[in-house]
Structure 1
Amino acid sequence: MAANGLFWWIGAGVLVLLELMSGTFYLLMVAVGFIAGGIAHLFGAGLEIELLVAALVAMIAVTVLRRSKLGHVTRRDASHDPGVNLDIGETLKVNEWHEGRARALYRGAEWDIELAPGETEGAHMYRITAFSGNTLVVAATR
């Protein structure tokens, strides 16, 4: 199977192609192990040594990836993320409050509005700070 070393190079190529579809970098690290196995074959190592080199390099590469910031996905709350909700940071006018809740016209539609924690009903202009379902969470503009 690995008698001519082509196995390592084809395997690395297939893993890189699969990595392009998954986008996780882990298959890329295993492909680095396959490349190391191919290099070991070029230096005349036996199949056992090639497999050992490929496995060790792949394990080390995956461990390094795991410990780097690329190995950890940071999840942010989309309800507060202006990159997800483009309305966050926009202002709107609220005329009348009822116990921290209101209805207001925003972008041509009536929305339920609620005050962000610690905010008061005294202002008329408010900035959208988050979404809570179909409700806009607002804070007074300063």
Structure 2
Amino acid sequence: MADSTVWWLLAGVAVAAELTSGTFFLLMLALGAAAGALAAHAGLGLSGQLVTAALVGGGAVAVWMRWRRRRPKGPAPQSDPNVVLDIGQIIHVPAWNTDGTAHVRYRGADWVAQAAAGTSPAPGAWRITAVIGNRLIVEPA
């Protein structure tokens, strides 16, 4: 079997593994394997193929990691209104417990509300800012 065939098979296995696991880094390593296959087609020896695959695959991973670190982080999923549609809704808190929680009725069910950090609990209207499990994190409306 030709060296390039082995490299193409490795690239295919890496892509298939990426599809089942969802890790983008395996695609970068598949790029490295494809570069190794192209190096084999160009007639480089095994050491040249390995160096090419390592440089391209490792370089792609390094560039991807650097790009991800520089990209601003979005909100946490529990406080992202695109994920949790309850965020931004107004609830009425009749009274707060001594532990800083309140029992509220929302969407026909009983929920536990907790005041967001830096806010003082007081009865009245509150806006949902996050949902963590069955707990609504709220701030004054």
TM-score range, shorter chain: 0.7 to 0.9
Alpha-carbon contact 2:96-2:121 (below 8 Å) kept = no
Q: Secondary structure at the match of 1:41?
A: helix
1:109 aligns with 2:109: yes
Helix, strand or coil at the partner of 1:130: strand
Return closer, same or farther for 1:43/1:86 CA change in 2, 3 Å cut-off.
same
Provide closer, same or farther for how the CA distance between residues 121 and 19 of structure 1 changes in structure 2, counting only shifts above 3 A.
same
**Partner residue, 2:138:** 138
Contact 1:5/1:42, CA 8 A, preserved across alignment: yes
Query: Unaligned 5+ residue runs, structure 2?
Result: none
Percent identity over paired residues: 43
CA distance in 2 between counterparts of 1:49 and 1:12 reads 17
Q: Distance in 1 between matches of 2:48 and 2:132?
A: 58
The TM-score, its normalising length taken from structure 2, stands at 0.75
- Residue correspondences, number: 138
Matched residue, 2:127: 127
The equivalent of 1:93 in structure 2 is 92
CA RMSD in angstroms comes to 2.9
- Give 1 or 2 for the bigger CA radius of gyration: 1
1:31-64 CA deviation, whole Å, 9 max, x = no partner?
1111111111111122222122112222212211
The Cα of 1:7 is off from its aligned counterpart by 0.8
Alignment match, 2:37: 38
Q: Is there any run of 5+ residues in structure 1 with no aligned partner, and where?
A: none
